[in-house]
Amino acid sequence: MNTSATFSDTDAAPPRSLHLLPVAVNTPAHSGVGDLLSYASSAPLPPGTLVRVPLGAREVLGIVWDAPETPQSLPAGVQPRAIAGVLQGIAPLAPAWRRLVAFAARYYQRALGEVALAALPPQLRDLDPEQLQRRLRRTQAPVPAAGTIKPIAHSAEQSTAIAQIDVHPGPFLLFGSTGSGKTEVYLHCVARALAADPQAQALILVPEINLTPQLEARVRARFAPLYGDAALVGMHSGMTPAQRLKSWLAAHTGAARIVLGTRMAVFASLPHLALIVVDEEHDASYKQQEGARYNARDLALWRGREQGAKVILGSATPSLESWHASRPPSEDDPQGGRYQRLYMPSRIGAGALPRVRILDMGQQPRHSVFAPPLLAAITERVQRGEQCLVLLNRRGFAPVLHCHACGWKSDCPHCSAHQVFHKLDRTLRCHHCGAASRVPRACPSCGNPDIVPIGRGTEQLEEQLARLLRNVVVEPAGRAARVARIDADTTRAKGALEEQLAQVHAGEVDVLVGTQMIAKGHDFRRITLVAAVQPDGALFSSDFRAPERLFALLMQAAGRAGRDAQYTAASEQPAEMWIQTWHPEHPVYATLRRHDWPAFAGQQLAERREAGMPPFAHQALVRADARSQEVAQAFLSAAADAARAAGLPGLDLVHLFPPVPLAVQRVAGVERAQMLLESPSRAALQAFLAAWQGVLHAERPQHKGLVRWLVDVDPQAI
């Protein structure tokens, strides 16, 4: 680990009484500055201490770090700058936390200070000592409540899974169908861990913010009677800076026994961590897409092993990496995988999984948005007072406006993508850079007033369904059918998502239209029919993970139907999942019809093994952003040539593919290119990437117009 020093202008040597300390600070990305900077302190400070230090003309937050293995000496005649202050009252960050951060920085090829400081609440950088002391006084250990909780009866499958988790070290992959009661297994294991040790802490990760309110309410109801309301805190990007600081302090001091959060919570300071739960472990949202591109699921596994905490991964559609890692021993593979696989195939309460119906759109009337059989099924369900969910993973009214006279399309002026037509506010918006403009009255190119939307988004589906169901009466209420939409556009305001979900749960919505944000994790008790309108796009994607993501999305969406066995039993028909497709014979739909994830996973893994793709190989992407595509690709090619010329370690086991433009190659006026690296050896790939960093730094000044470059280890999209 490199150690640099920040120096003052004076040439005098530091007094002997001063202590030279390595400090991690958030230095500019790709600045070439070492991982640690050296500062002077009048007193020794233990590693993990939070300090304020000067950096250039600014004063920034830093963390005193462990001394490097090779001690660094200052050049003769120079004096290090002094630490500006210590954040009093906050215990040093534990060695286990520092090891987690150091591993993440090393593995994902980012600066140590960048990862370490990003893991801390932003408000720690801004509070003066008096303000900080006031915050600390509010963070007190929770007072256990006097209440108790009723014993909960478990199904045979839940009891078996719990027994296995109790006696084995894990990690565990809890493979349970939607509605099988995985959450209850999580909560029981949390209860066991907290009861076994009065200081024990548990971390529960969910993939998206919109899944936290429902789960948080359930966790709070379960544990507040035992440990007090303050024993549970949340951690996600939707919280205010003050809320994030409060939660972080509660976890760091041990006042919080349970932390529930999104991927950022994997870095929470939990000195007494005993259990980690990763719900919906397959979800791509666990992969950070900006800055340090870490995968929270993978870091949770590393942290659990390193800290001696049990780790439970749960999903009805596990990632193929986790499925392969949990393979049972066999004659050909006596060792099996690293995880222990636990099965829970049955739904709680004898509820059946929904019947999957495939609609061949080639046999339906041309230009049908909803095939007549599907529309009839939705109408019947709504008339009986049942709820339906319609899934389309594209927001807006239409993907593009088009002029038939001259061929003009509503292209984004800054990106190689279309601006999406949003009818409600009459705007064209780019979903990549955010550029927005008013819808033109006529074609900007030829003046033709007849410009039309092409394609469909959730906004259009909502409008069309409202029109098609306008005369449908919901019995026994005797009111008109109601259609609502939940997507990123309707949930921007604070509290909007919770309010809309409450309306669905209360039965005030008959048909819910939305994107993937409503297709997973939500416990909709009244929904008996789910429909996927246009899922075919992912079948022929250039990304080899696209079929896996599509199968998982559709199976998760199907799992929203028929979750309440009593409610479904009262219906005249069993719960259903309808899929409108132009390719009804595709293998994805054939296995989905049987709810057969093991068969689908086996077929996909066989293809990947033959092609040498993850999890049988390891990948990294190096992306270059520049003012022109030529500069971006030239930088990547030159860096690859320099790596070969230098004979970098691991190169003999790493294949560097030629640079290519990204699918959306221009965003916000910046051209983007990428180079794929692949190796059968993770160690070889890591050794090469670490050695290549210096080459990339040295090559950058030679390419005028290069804006930035970044490394994405274990990419989730190619």
Cα 669 to Cα 143: distance, rounded to the nearest angstrom: 55
Strands 340-344 and 258-261, sheet pairing: unpaired
What are the angstrom distances between the C-alpha of 394 and each of 58, 81, 374, 493, 664? 44, 53, 20, 20, 16
Q: What residues have CB less than 8 Å from 660, skipping those under 6 apart?
A: 633, 673, 674, 675
Query: 79: which 2 tokens?
Result: 């004096």
Q: Tell whether residue 406 is among the known ligand binding residues.
A: yes
Q: Is 446 annotated as a binding residue?
A: yes
Contacting residues for 393 by C-beta, under 8 A, at least 6 apart: 515, 516, 535, 553
> What are the structure tokens assigned to 513, written together?
């239209």
Q: Are strands 670-679 and 655-656 parallel, antiparallel or unpaired?
A: antiparallel
Q: 189 among the known binding-site residues?
A: no
List 451's β-bridge partners, or say none: 403
Tell me: is residue 388 an annotated ligand-binding position. no
Closest Cα to residue 535, out of 475, 579, 601, 484?
579
User: Do the annotations mark residue 403 as ligand-binding?
Assistant: yes
Give me the phi and psi of 341, to 5 degrees please: -90, 130
Q: With contact defined as beta carbons under 8 Å apart, do 280 and 260 qualify?
A: no
Alpha-helical segments (H) within 507-623: 546-558, 565-570, 587-593, 597-611
Element (H, E) at 535: none
Q: What is the DSSP string of 462-485?
A: HHHHHHHTTT-EETTTTEE--EEE
- Angle formed at CA 640 by CA 637 and CA 645, multiple of 5 degrees: 125
Please give the C-alpha separations between residue 544 and each of 290, 605, 716, 718, in angstroms, as whole numbers.
Answer: 22, 11, 10, 8
Binding-site positions for Zn(2+) read: 403, 406, 412, 415, 430, 433, 443, 446
Binding-site positions read: 403, 406, 412, 415, 430, 433, 443, 446
